[in-house]
Amino acid sequence: MKKALHPTMIRQDSSSLHDQHKPRAKNYFKVVSRKLAAVFTALLSGKRKKGSIDVNKMQKNNTRVKRISFSTSTDQSTVSDVRSSAGFKSFGSYGSSSSMSGHITTPSFSFEDICKATVNFSPENKIGEGGFGTVYKGRLKDGSLVAVKRAKKGLPQQFKNEILTLSKIEHLNLVRLFGYLEHKDEQIIVVEYVGNGNLREHLDGVRGNGLEIAERLDIAIDVAHAITYLHTYTDPPIIHRDIKASNILITEKLRAKVADFGFARLATEDPTATHISTQVKGTAGYVDPEYTRTYQLTDKSDVYSFGVLLVELMTGRYPIESKKPVKERVTIRWAMKRLKEGEFVIAMDPKLRRSPASNMVVENVLKLAHQCLAPVRQSRPTMKKCVEVLWGIRKDYKDRVSSTTAASTSHCSANFPYRNAKSDRHLFGIQEGDSYGFISA
Ligand SMILES: Nc1ncnc2c1ncn2[C@@H]1O[C@H](COP(=O)(O)OP(=O)(O)OP(=O)(O)O)[C@@H](O)[C@H]1O
């Protein structure tokens, strides 16, 4: 999907800021290898001991296209668990994320199996390319479809982040980890295949038949469920740090799964801590300005990015539209101004059908986005609150559409037997992933 660089893509070289860590690097590696050895020994002896590995201090200089990455000298981020990475590890069964009781089962397939599954990483099987590397579609021996993420060389940090995070989570609206593999200089992550492209492709109209307002609302709710789960129901909480439309994968039923945990962070286990001081990472246009200013990361940074995503869903525009007139270039600024001036319909994606019910959704979702985008994080709602607000909007929408449908049916059913099957599927019955999406362990 990364055929060409979009205006939102930026390149930021972080080397000069990282340089200040260099004199300490040798010591960190010593400390880290000691801790890795301890954790590995604990794993072998069957005891699960919480290690504390300062992974950001292990981080090499990282130049990324599109994503932001620069650091602060007070970087004290920690990741509280690590697993052995020798050979293929699969996470076929693991307990609840809150207990972090994931265990590594016997290796179930090898590098050769992955080569077979992807037909030697053939270009025909390539489904995407991102900062992490290339993503391939694969079919395993048992016939199941998987997405194989083949890391670019020299990104050990992101590889580790992604497997550490994915191994702790299980939720219908998050892509599921099947396993990972380190083979010579290859680093591979195998995850659930989500077959209907990503949200950005749907908004661009290069996938599917265009998303109706009810479908966009369901997608917003799915994403909100997923982030609520990460912030509230994992232990320690997880901050995704890269919520954006291209990381929202879409199923055949037009429901959403959040992917790409390369930048995710485990929040501190210290209940008195208000934030983590860490490198600023994310994608231009989505990153919380308070985080970029203070280097302080909290779950409210994800809330900010979610606010940007809501605006994107309602307007169809990219967060940064460099070809638009100056006043419209920063989409959130433009859309919030339209909202404030009572002209939110102007900001509404032209691909969306206008109706009192869909206008109501756009207005209320933009109002929620406004709260998520508050400059000061304390003023932003929690993700759980966002879910509740979105549920309310969906209920109002359904009520309004049902009453309109009932009125038009009673008045002109003989003349107007046509029903819109696509809209109807949002009015009746429970949708896949409507609950918080927990999968019982
Ligand atoms: N599990 C998956 N199932 C199906 N397609 C996937 C899967 N994971 C990724 N993709 C596709 O591959 C693309 C690239 O994914 P990846 O997470 O590596 O990068 P990205 O998020 O798009 O970009 P960046 O890494 O710069 O943020 C996705 O946008 C998506 O289209």
**Region 387-411: what's the mean pLDDT?**
88
Judging by DSSP bridges, how do beta strands 67-70 and 89-90 pair with one another?
unpaired
Query: Are the C-beta atoms of residues 262 and 161 closer than 8 Å to each other?
Result: yes
pLDDT band for 165, please (50, 70, 90 cuts).
confident
Select which of 81, 242, 288, 299 is catalytic.
Answer: 242
Question: How far is 91 from 397, CA to CA, in rounded Å?
Answer: 40
Question: How far is 306 from 227, CA to CA, in rounded Å?
Answer: 9
Question: How far is 309 from 329, CA to CA, in rounded Å?
Answer: 16
What are the tens digits of pLDDT across the range 238-254? 999 999 999 999 999 99
Whether domain 199-438 has CATH 3.40.50.1220: the reply is no
Q: Where are the domains of the chain?
A: 75-192, 199-438
Closest approach atom of ligand 1 to CA 242 = 27
Q: Which one of 56-70, 76-90, 129-143, 427-441 scores highest in mean pLDDT? A: 129-143
Say whether 258 sits in a helix, a strand or coil.
Answer: strand
pLDDT at 232 over 60: yes
What are the tens digits of pLDDT across the range 301-322? 999 999 999 999 999 999 999 9
Residue 181's Cβ-count burial label (10 Å; 0-12, 13-18, 19+) is buried
Helix locations, 233-298, DSSP H: 289-294
Closest approach atom of ligand 1 to CA 283 = 27
How far from each other are the two terminal CA atoms of the chain, in whole angstroms? 34
| Per-residue model confidence (pLDDT) at position 271 | 60
ipTM summary value: 0.95
CATH of domain 75-192: 3.30.200.20
3-state secondary structure 362-379: HHHHHHHHHHHCCCCHHH
pLDDT at 11 over 90: no
pLDDT band for 37, please (50, 70, 90 cuts).
very low
Residue 204 a catalytic site member = no
Rg (CA), the chain: 22
Judging by DSSP bridges, how do beta strands 133-139 and 89-90 pair with one another?
unpaired
CA 229 to chain centre: 12
| Per-residue model confidence (pLDDT) at position 405 | 79
3-state secondary structure 186-202: EEEEEEECCCCCEHHHH
Task: Kindly list the protein residues whose Cβ atom lies closer than 6 A to any atom of ligand 1.
Answer: 1, 66-67, 127-132, 135, 147, 149, 175, 191-194, 197-198, 242, 246-247, 249, 259-260
Q: What are phi and psi of 172, to 5 degrees?
A: -60, -30
| Per-residue model confidence (pLDDT) at position 166 | 86
CA of 412 to the centre of ligand 1 (A): 48
**Which amino acid, 206?**
V
| Per-residue model confidence (pLDDT) at position 280 | 73
pTM: 0.73
Question: How far is 383 from 389, CA to CA, in rounded Å?
Answer: 10
pLDDT band for 411, please (50, 70, 90 cuts).
low
What are the tens digits of pLDDT across the range 68-80? 544 333 333 322 2
Any idea which of 166-170, 341-345, 435-439 has the lowest mean pLDDT?
Answer: 435-439
- Domains 75-192 and 199-438 alike in fold: no
Closest approach atom of ligand 1 to CA 200 = 29
Torsion angle, alpha carbons of 374, 216, 250, 69, to 10 = -20
What are the tens digits of pLDDT across the range 271-282? 666 777 666 777
| Per-residue model confidence (pLDDT) at position 40 | 32
Question: How far is 305 from 163, CA to CA, in rounded Å?
Answer: 22
**Region 41-49: what's the mean pLDDT?**
33
pLDDT at 349 over 90: yes
Please name the residue whose Cα sits nearest to atom 19 of ligand 1: 130
Q: How many CB atoms lie within 10 A of CB 411?
A: 10
